[in-house]
Copies of this chain bind each other. A is one copy, B any other.
Amino acid sequence: MELTVYLAGQIHDNWRDEIEQKAKEKNLPLKFVAPQTNHDRSDDIGEAILGEQPGKLYRDHAASDINNLRTQVLMQKSDIVIALFGDKYRQWNTAMDASAAITMNKPLIIIRPEALIHPLKELSNKANVTVETVDQAIAAIAYIFE
């Protein structure tokens, strides 16, 4: 039984590589999908496909058309969602993906530092599991295969 895991969340460090690496080390039968992690590419994709837009609002709207298409396709193909919140940035996309996962009955693991306990409390409360490290998230998924 292979499971597909959607890795929602910040794109400012290499936590996705770390998860994939650790899953490989444990021989877990997991396939990972994710949003576009190249930040510039993600911001530019709207104009790259739809052409130049008349201002920042429209440029952002065009980019999110394409980014949301990607997320919807990949999340519908996934069995588990992991959402990682870092201590910088607002990361409303991450909260959006996490909440969508819950409402679609996709099992959800949240990773967040201790400092974010309070602002994330309601979302954490709805997730299946909330942890602080990538290792803990992998351990929770590994447990499914025991």
Contact = CB atoms under 8 A, between A and B. Distances in A.
The majority secondary structure among interface residues of chain A is helix
A98 interface: yes
Interface string A78-106: 01100001000111110111111011110
B36 A146 contact: yes
What number of copies of this chain does the assembly contain? 8
Contacts of A77: 1, 79
Interface of A: 1, 3-4, 31, 33, 36, 38, 41, 45, 48-50, 54-58, 60-61, 63-74, 76-77, 79-80, 85, 89-93, 95-100, 102-105, 107, 109, 117-126, 128-131, 136, 139-140, 143-144, 146
Nearest to A142: B49
Contact of A69 (B65, B69, B107, B118): B107
